[in-house]
Amino acid sequence: MESIATKFGIQNALKILGVQTVNEGTSTGSFHFSNGEIIESYSPVDGQLIGSVKATTKEDYETVMKVATSAFKAWRMVPAPQRGEIVRQFGDKLREKKEALGKLVSYEMGKSYQEGLGEVQEMIDICDFAVGLSRQLHGLTMHSERPGHRMYEQYHPLGVVGIISAFNFPVAVWSWNTALAWICGDVCVWKPSEKTPLCGIACQNIIAEVLKTNNLPEGISCLINGNYIVGEFMTKDSRIPLISATGSTRMGKIVAKEVAGRLGKSLLELGGNNAIIVTPDADIKMTVIGAVFGAVGTAGQRCTSTRRLIIHETIYDKVKHAIVDAYKQLRIGNPLDENNHVGPLIDTHAVKMYKEALDKVVEEGGTILVEGGVFSGKGYESGCYVKPAIAEAKSEYEIVQHETFAPVLYLLKYSESIENAIDIQNNVAQGLSSAIMTNNLREAEQFLSQEGSDCGIANVNIGTSGAEIGGAFGGEKETGGGRESGSDAWKIYMRRQTNTINYTTELPLAQGIKFDL
């Protein structure tokens, strides 16, 4: 019988991306090396071994850092618009290899092929954004209190930026960081998730080709592979002024403490417990579309996935029945087959967490509306396919207060004004994404006001999941407070400097201080 990998051209995709499926792991551009332990990448789609890489050892890491720090000295001297030209070429390469890379993302991570393509499109979009930004790294000028003086602020590159990314967006989040860091004059060392190492190698191969063509130092982009121990090489390294880390809140707290201990900077994108408020003035059809995609897209493994639906009591039953009916139409299976809506969870550990969450909500008094469960048999051999589930619950349940990285949606009821719904939404530790479904202008504006959503992202009449490149992405509270991608997020990758120039023959002091000699 023809395998999924053969049927959907995975080997051809790997060939296009230049990914050898054994013994790669540490890279500083065109060469690969490592003496570390083997990391095997199994696809959650069919449970098959895709390939093996080697973990980065401490010795390997030191070699990477020497190459990266050397490359920075050259890269920072390249004018920003010329750095933007390199990012433009990288974006064009991604356009050429979009189908292959999207397919690898889908097969190694398990998200639908359409979502895999969408993730690569995010990479292309951030490259376009960064190219324009490379001519707009503006400082400020200001008036001095001293005559004959000029004051201004300017931005300089930081140096080596360390990037730790998660499995759920194995390529896009890296590109959000690197595209901006590169045009700012920084070089990058990236540790992708050990669950999706081949996606990291594919991306490294693409940028390495661009750097080689332009006769630029390969250390501008570096790759290391491994588990949290390899991540600690970066978090403890004072040669890396900024660590950008995406993952769980637990991981983020460890990174933040370690980096702060050496007075470094951290950019953290952590957990989400995202809610949609549904008011009596909501468009029910739009609500169902936004809520279902938000809850089951990427099998509920997005940091912006919809976890909670907060519905007014007067329309609660109507919305509940509409959502339950929509779930009956979901097709769960091979994500490379575009007829399916939902693919697998990343691994059997994620399945275990999913099952424990459903047990917990029942234990606390909740009611299961759409039964969960694990698929088995033909087409589900990996053991990672689960049924998207819906439970009626209360906001104070412990399980509702936590993020479960799986397709579990909690329906909550509110009975009073919009203030009550906002209080329920905000009463969790996380603060990433939020949404309200309403055609009432006053409700929408209140939701977006200072007394409204406390999340970094607040949407009206769209769901919690998905974000455009132009806006800064990130959240508050235990989500970490970082911002990536658009707007002025570039400033985190640079150091700010205030300059004062005296063009007179006098030396007056600030605040009118007298110091005569």
The residues annotated with a catalytic role in the active site are 269, 303
DSSP letter at 153 equals E
Where does 210-279 show beta strands of DSSP type E?
221-223, 242-246, 265-269, 274-278
Task: Return d(Cα 334, Cα 316) in angstroms, integer.
Answer: 33
Task: Return d(Cα 169, Cα 489) in angstroms, integer.
Answer: 19
Please spell the DSSP secondary structure of 190-218, one letter per residue: EE--TTSHHHHHHHHHHHHHHHHHTT--G
**Which positions ≥6 away from 77 have C-beta within 8 Å?**
none
- Among the listed residues 309, 452, 433, 421, the one whose alpha carbon sits nearest the alpha carbon of residue 369: 309
Task: Return d(Cα 324, Cα 472) in angstroms, integer.
Answer: 34
- For 311, the token pair is 């519905």
Is residue 482 within 8 Å of 432, Cβ to Cβ?
A: no
Report which residue type is found at 226.
Answer: G
- For 377, the token pair is 């048999």
**Which positions ≥6 away from 344 have C-beta within 8 Å?**
44, 45, 110, 299, 335, 382, 384, 385, 386
